[in-house]
Amino acid sequence: MEQKETTLWDALRSCVRMFSKLLQWCKQLVVRMIRLTFQRWWLVGGITILCIIGGIYYSRPSNKMYKVRAIATLNGPSVSEVKQYYESLHKTFDAFNVIDCLNDGTADYVDYKRNNSLTDTLHVVMKDQIALQFVTCNRNAIPSYEDRIVYLLNSNPQFISEYNNFKAHAERQFIFDREQVNKLDTMTSAFYANAAAPQIHSNAWELAMGRKEIVLPLEDIEEFMDNKAQRDNRYALVTAPVVLQGHFVPTKKAKNGRLKCTFLGCIIGWLLGCLIAVLFDDRQHILRWLKQE
């Protein structure tokens, strides 16, 4: 007898039946929990109130925990190296990728939810920037934490070695750019100094000197000067392996806010109360099961 081949339609029908059974089970569970809440209101309500009080206590002002964040520029060390080292310093330390959507060298957002894929070509992970974060309940101690973090990052021997190589290359590029600008200034000054004023005529991007026409690559020069300005700004940050772009700043809302903790305490208390109510109702069956040999 031939076995019937399973089609896509049969698979879909099977999935629908399983999903329908799951919904029915969830409906029965919710109905039973509501019934238990009504029948054992003193037990479920008491546990819920205790959990709410616990949530309120956990979110008290002296225990409010804030996420503190800063963006750092990397001069030599890679993002993965700094991320691994930073997160190993403390369990509350996290590092996140900085994303460049247009791939133009400008940061667009920080991937705090870690949703970005490393293979995404539209949202490129920046190679010289990283977002650092830690959690604290003492906002007054943030400056001291910042100093300690910067010291630990910039005293890492591996980061220092990579920084020295990066700095040497940046210095060579800076000197080269400066020499090119000096050459352009010298060439331009000599041209205007040696040319007679009546012989010079300008037209758009060209200058005519007598019968000899000289084309000045002004567009290329302008592009070079723009790139040089960007490199100069980047060179100004080459002062250490890891340089913060600003200070560590806490988020406006606490990680354990009063409303959030109260709501979670209510939900957890209700679920825990219903579970204890089930165990209370079935205590005879549970005891008989435990006494079985």
- Asked if residue 42 and residue 152 are part of one domain, the reply reads no
113: containing domain: 65-250
Each residue's pLDDT, cut to its tens digit, for the chain (293 residues) gives 445 556 777 788 888 889 998 999 888 888 888 888 898 889 999 999 999 999 999 999 889 999 999 999 999 999 999 999 999 999 999 999 999 887 777 888 999 988 887 677 677 889 999 999 999 999 999 999 999 999 999 999 999 999 999 999 999 999 998 888 888 777 767 666 655 545 555 554 555 555 444 555 667 777 888 888 888 888 999 999 999 999 999 999 999 899 999 999 999 999 999 999 888 888 777 777 777 76
Q: At a CB cut-off of 8 Å and minimum separation 6, what does 7 contact? A: none
- Asked if residue 147 and residue 203 are part of one domain, the reply reads yes
What token pair was written down for 95? 């590092």
Please report whether residue 286 resides in a domain: no
- Asked if residue 170 and residue 40 are part of one domain, the reply reads no
- Asked if residue 220 and residue 165 are part of one domain, the reply reads yes
- Asked if residue 201 and residue 265 are part of one domain, the reply reads no
State the total domains in the chain. 2
Contact in structure between 66 and 257 (CB atoms under 8 Å) = no
DSSP string, 214-232: EE--HHHHHHHHHHHHHHH
- Asked if residue 75 and residue 117 are part of one domain, the reply reads yes
- Asked if residue 200 and residue 179 are part of one domain, the reply reads yes
Give CA–CA dist 214/195, Å, rounded: 12
- Asked if residue 73 and residue 56 are part of one domain, the reply reads no
- Asked if residue 191 and residue 103 are part of one domain, the reply reads yes
- Asked if residue 168 and residue 25 are part of one domain, the reply reads no
- Asked if residue 38 and residue 146 are part of one domain, the reply reads no
Please report whether residue 289 resides in a domain: no
- Asked if residue 46 and residue 103 are part of one domain, the reply reads no
